[in-house]
Amino acid sequence: MAAAINPLLVIGAALSAIAALLHVGCIVFGASWYRFFGAGERMARLAEAGDWRAAAITSVIVAVLSIWALYALSGAGAIRALPLLRIGLCAIAAVYSLRGLAGLLYAAFGARADAAFWWWSSAICLVFGIVHAVGLMQVWSRL
């Protein structure tokens, strides 16, 4: 009998996929999206100038988030097992969680003008990390 699909890792995959699509939106819609999502004025200005670097950097982020979505789906049992699945899911949960925690500390003690960005983006990352970590714990024995 096949193992059931883990709903938390499916949610984690969806969250990473949505984040990837929002980054695609930054590439497509330009500086206003970079500014709205808090990418920083430098990235927004690069996009306004048509500089290839803004799209290139954002494309790398899109690729990473897309791969993370695939790993979460794989861990969930929705697609075939990907290489180094346990290590990959541990790393994904750790990166999201550490980014969230570090960002919250930065928002509390270091951020100035962009504190709001750091609060909400860090909280989002922390939630993503928790979803991945709990989902991973639920499927650990079958990976």
Q: Let me know: does 135 contact 68? Beta carbons within 8 Å.
A: no
Q: Give this prediction's pTM.
A: 0.93
Q: Is residue 101 part of a domain?
A: yes
| Average pLDDT over all residues of the chain | 95
Q: Is residue 124 part of a domain?
A: yes
Range of the domain at 81: 7-142
Report the domain count for the chain. 1
Count how many Cα atoms sit within 13 Å of the Cα of residue 142 in the half-sphere of its side chain: 16
Q: Let me know: does 74 contact 82? Beta carbons within 8 Å.
A: yes
Q: Is residue 15 part of a domain?
A: yes
Residue 3 has pLDDT above 90, yes or no: no
Q: Is residue 2 part of a domain?
A: no
Burial 115-140 (b: 16+ CB within 10 A, else e): eebbbebbebbbebbbbbbebbeebe
Q: Is residue 1 part of a domain?
A: no
Q: For 52-89, what is each residue's pLDDT tens digit?
A: 999 999 999 999 999 999 999 999 999 999 999 999 99
